Amino acid sequence: MNRNTVISICKGIAIILMVIGHAEAPGALQSFIFEFHMPLFFITAGYFFSLKYLHNEATFLKKRVKGLYLPFVKWSVFFLLIHNLMFKIGILNETYGNEMGGVTHPYSWHQMQQNFWNIFTAMGGYDAFLCGAFWFFRGLFVASILYLIIYKVLDSTIKSSRWKQYIPYMICVILLLLCGWKTYEGIRVITLVQGGYRDMMGCFFFGCGFIFRQYADSYQALMKRYYAIVWTTVLFGITVYLFSHYLEANMNWRSDYTHFLSLPIPALLGFLMIYNISTLLDKKENWLKRFLIYTGDHTLNIFIFHIISYKVVSLIKIWYYGLDIQQIGCHMVIHEHSKEDLFWIPYTIAGVGIPLLVTWLIEQWKLKRKSCRPSSASPRQ
């Protein structure tokens, strides 16, 4: 079975867009990106969901634990342990914080213990200023398992094979209705950190990805002509922009009912826009395609390390403008001058490039070590 590099390119573009958004890009660009970039990750994850897991739940759960829960725990604990050290060396401080003026503080021994428990038991408790994107690990973990559970319940309840084919659509409708009820009444799922909105909407988009998989070949055939894919991409992009300008929404955990209503259409059209672009990029073998595939295959590392990588550029910005050195503690980037300068570009390069460079160097080191090991088949001296 040939590998689907189009989806890898989609993920590569999505993670770059996430880094651009977190780098405080110009307002219009940031709003445009936030309409669809996180739903895109859930959709691409759902694309690979298989019905074989309905009868092999243990394998599915093991993959989710290995790919999402364990990396979350490992790196959340790591950043928890160095949190107070970051204050001592000046990376964090109690003077500068996020755009809304909030700051972080050193942890007491009790707080560290509580966060430690939250990390393991609720996939919460992570360092908000160093691991601000870590909610996604919990969101996708919960969304994918919830999707499997609902699918199994409906599959065992519905006896008619004629109606079983509509189960994926039923799940998406159920999730939309639940999310609509939840946001309209301001209900929180108290067992999920941040109330569950992101997790439930993530499950909806996960289901959309699975549905799209069933029509991917037909869609590709429809978009076979170059002008068709270009014009639909432009149309999707314009629609997403209009939503971002007049009905702005994103997967913010504080989203209200209006935000909920505004999200699905631009999110799905944004995915199709990126899918179209990825399809075009996939047609030619060049460095850009290889880079985006590599990036898409290593989104995890960028999720984990892009915020700490921003600090390198923050040091340059402090020097350039003669700012207080403590502004390196700003989350996620230095806010001063961010609306008029172009520092979001080097922030993006660092946020993507540094994690990928370190990943590549580690891979090369492992390959070198492996090649230096004596073959087990070689005779002993």
What are the residue ranges in the chain where pLDDT is below 50?
1, 378-381
C-beta separation of 195 from 188 below 8 A = yes
pLDDT of residue 371: 82
What percentage of the chain's residues is helix, strand, coil (to nearest 5)? 70, 0, 30
pLDDT of residue 376: 52
CA distances from 166 to 28, 160, 340, 363 (A): 38, 11, 50, 44
Residue 237: name the closest of 19, 2, 35, 7 by CA: 35
pLDDT in tens, 273-321: 999 999 999 999 999 999 999 999 999 999 999 999 999 999 999 999 9
Query: For residues 140 and 44, what is the distance between their CA atoms, to the nearest angstrom?
Result: 11
Residue 292: name the closest of 274, 313, 310, 308 by CA: 274
Residues 6+ apart with CB under 8 A from 229: 223, 276, 279, 280
Residue 340 tokens read as 């008029």
pLDDT in tens, 319-336: 999 999 999 999 999 999
Cα end-to-end span (Å), the chain: 43
